[in-house]
Amino acid sequence: MMAVAAALCAFCAYAQEDPSKETVIVDPFTNSAGASETARDNVRSAVISGFSQVGRFFVVDAMTDSRLSKLYENRKIEDVVNDANWKAESDVAYKAVGANKLIRGTVDLHYEHKKPNSDGKMVYYTDINFTLQVFDITTGALDGSESYKYSELSLSSYADSFNSVIRKVTKDMTQFCNKFFKMESYILELGEADKGGNIKDLWISGGTEVGISNGTIFKVLSEKKIGPKVTRVAIGEVIAKEVLEGMTRCEIKNKKEGEVIKTKFNDGEKLYIELDRKRGDGAKEIGRLFGF
């Protein structure tokens, strides 16, 4: 029997008290003929769990939220998600929650198979493929999508290999969030200068409560006026080394960049910190070589 993933976490947007967390709605997922409803629901549960564990999101489950669940009463999920007839009603409900982003998913494949290994013992495989989409609720535009393919094995049962997939889905949501959701902070203060006057570290706003972990990489941004427009340009890069509640100590990666940061900060300029979406999930050096 297929193991069931952890129960879905449901939150009420009315009770949101932390404005630093972004509200995200997770719609019911759809599934193709090649995937069961059970697999679909377990993958969705893992996605919600993964978003919750990142720590910087207020997750609204459209299936349990009192305002959104009404969209699906006596209607097929596919109708609400895809049918233009329900679009206006859906948009009104989404915006009432106060979220800016909507997550939708389609599970395309759930396949179980087994074969003997070199010792003649059976190995149980579970293959699951699915796609996630991120929509901007205000504009209705698709912000981006990501497809995932998993093939996990177990020496004991399909349930174990299936649960291994679910655990990986939950874990991989950190990288998904870092890629598609902007995380911004600012420099609180600089660290102590060494004998040569060089600044090696600094403190930024935000810590464990917004999901920062050791090894998270950030870009340091300075505001620059170009004609009538104010834009932000990167002036350096820092990496989280000590994460506390409400603040994080970051190491400045480059001595030259550290001097630029010190000068601008001491001149009273507000310097912003933005998650490096390609490399912001605490990947080690070998991972950064491949651009993530």
For residue 17, is pLDDT > 60? no
β 57-61/22-26 pair status:
parallel
Q: What is the pTM of this model?
A: 0.70
Report whether pLDDT(3) > 80: no
Q: What is the DSSP string of 244-270?
A: -SSEEEEEES-HHHHHHHHHHHHTT--
* 114-142 core/surface letters (b: 16 or more CB in 10 A; e: else): eeeeeeeeebbbbbbbbebbbbebeeeee
275-287 pLDDT per residue, tens? 875 555 544 332 3
pLDDT of amino acid 4: 39
pLDDT exceeds 70 at position 250 = yes
What is the per-residue pLDDT across 182-228, written as a single tens digit (0 to 9) for each? Answer: 777 889 999 998 988 899 999 998 888 777 889 989 999 998 888 88
Domains and CATH numbers, the chain: 13-180 (3.40.50.10610), 184-288 (2.40.10.410)
Residue whose structure tokens are 């340091």 = 220
Task: Give the least confident one: 14-18, 114-118, 151-155, 234-238.
Answer: 14-18
